[in-house]
Amino acid sequence: MGIWCTEERGSGTLIVAGCDLGIVSAKAAVIQNGQMLAFEILPYKGHPKQAAIEAMDRAFAKAGLSAEKIEYCVATGFGRNAVPCADEVVGDLVCLHRAIREVNTAVRTVIDVGGHSFRAFNIDDNGRVSETAVTDKCAAGTGRFIEIMANALEIPVEELGRVSSGSESPAPITNQCVVLAESEVISLINDGYDRFDIFAGVAASVAARITGLVRRIDVNEEVAFVGGVAKNALVVNELERRLRVKFASLSGLDPQMVGAFGAALLARDGRRGT
């Protein structure tokens, strides 16, 4: 596997990269003059540095580029300091804010739910971050929580989400602790509950947890939902119902790629000296 960053940098068309290295996946974005050329989302369970290298390698391959074409790279995410050859490391919130301002300037509240944490923040009419709320002390409400519950149900998350969307009797999930919730799910299976009804209950529990955090700040439309959990239709629908909103458009950007895209935009800004 090739190293994706070298000391020699290109001097032609401005091509930059962003890498969002989370606790469960590596996301890489390659952009040219602000336009996405290619991206990669790589779930991983091994070494973070190697995951970052592999994600970038794959993104470069998709873009048909060699590593030497990169002019600047910004890393973000939980493992940002492990991204090799990054020119700069930037906090998650700054990257999310930069991307949102690029794809939809009407957004005023952002909900970000990833593998290990979730947050919400507001953007005022001048485009600045005004209020924030974040939790990273408990896995309840995160992508990792959903993954553990899916493993307990012994069905892939994607299949559970697709079939459970038709559930009319979601099973109540009362525990927020991951260990206790997993035991509760197993008990429900043993009691004869349908696995898809159980997963519908898990999604409702996750949405309730996220809603509790979001309501610590004002919820101002338009509202954007980003992060890996934003790709789970069950959670999306339940969260829209609880917050009484319809989530804003991201202009076709994969919600799991928002942080990496923001990092790439900051790389472009840094290279241009803006």
**Percent of the chain whose predicted confidence (pLDDT) is above 90:** 62
For residue 222, say if its preceding peptide bond is cis, omega within 30 degrees of 0: yes
pLDDT at 117: 81
- Binning pLDDT at 50, 70 and 90, where does residue 140 land? low
pLDDT in tens, 196-245: 999 999 989 899 999 999 999 999 999 999 999 999 888 999 999 999 99
pLDDT at 2: 38
Selected residue with higher pLDDT from 35 and 247: 247
On whether both 127 and 218 belong to a single domain, the answer is: yes
pLDDT in tens, 18-76: 999 998 899 999 999 888 999 999 998 889 999 999 999 999 999 998 778 889 999 99
Residue 2 lies inside a defined structural domain of this protein: no
Selected residue with higher pLDDT from 272 and 270: 270
On whether both 244 and 110 belong to a single domain, the answer is: yes
Q: Structural domain of residue 54, as residue ranges?
A: 15-93+255-272
Provide CB contacts within 8 A for 187, sequence distance 6+. none
Rounded-to-integer distance, Cα 44 and Cα 22, Å: 10
pLDDT for residue 7 is more than 50: no
Provide CB contacts within 8 A for 199, sequence distance 6+. 149, 150, 153, 155, 160, 161, 164, 167, 234
Rounded-to-integer distance, Cα 181 and Cα 193, Å: 15
Dihedral angle over CA of 140, 248, 131, 210, nearest 10: -10
pLDDT for residue 1 is more than 70: no
Residue 100 lies inside a defined structural domain of this protein: no
On whether both 112 and 203 belong to a single domain, the answer is: yes
Provide CB contacts within 8 A for 158, sequence distance 6+. none
Long-range contacts of 168-177 (CB under 8 A, 24+ apart): 169/194, 169/197, 170/197, 170/200, 170/201, 170/203, 170/204, 171/197, 171/198, 171/200, 171/201, 172/201, 173/198, 173/201, 173/202, 173/204, 173/205, 176/138, 176/140, 176/141, 176/205, 176/209, 177/138, 177/140
In sequence order, the β-bridge partners of residue 39 are 29
Taking the mean position of all CA atoms in its chain, how far away is CA 132?
17
Residue 10 lies inside a defined structural domain of this protein: no
Rounded-to-integer distance, Cα 153 and Cα 26, Å: 26
Instruction: Considering only the C-alpha atoms of the chain, give the largest distance between any 2 of them, rounded to a whole number of Å.
Output: 65
Side by side, the strands of the sheet bearing 118-123 are 129-135, 118-123, 109-113, 223-226
On whether both 82 and 201 belong to a single domain, the answer is: no
Taking the mean position of all CA atoms in its chain, how far away is CA 186?
28
On whether both 119 and 243 belong to a single domain, the answer is: yes
Selected residue with higher pLDDT from 135 and 26: 26
pLDDT at 10: 42
Whole-prediction pTM? 0.88
Tell the burial category of 212 from Cβ atoms under 10 Å away from its Cβ (0-12, 13-18, 19+): middle
pLDDT in tens, 95-115: 999 999 999 999 999 999 988
On whether both 155 and 265 belong to a single domain, the answer is: no
- Provide the domain count of the chain: 2
On whether both 244 and 202 belong to a single domain, the answer is: yes
On whether both 23 and 40 belong to a single domain, the answer is: yes
Mean per-residue pLDDT over the chain, rounded? 88
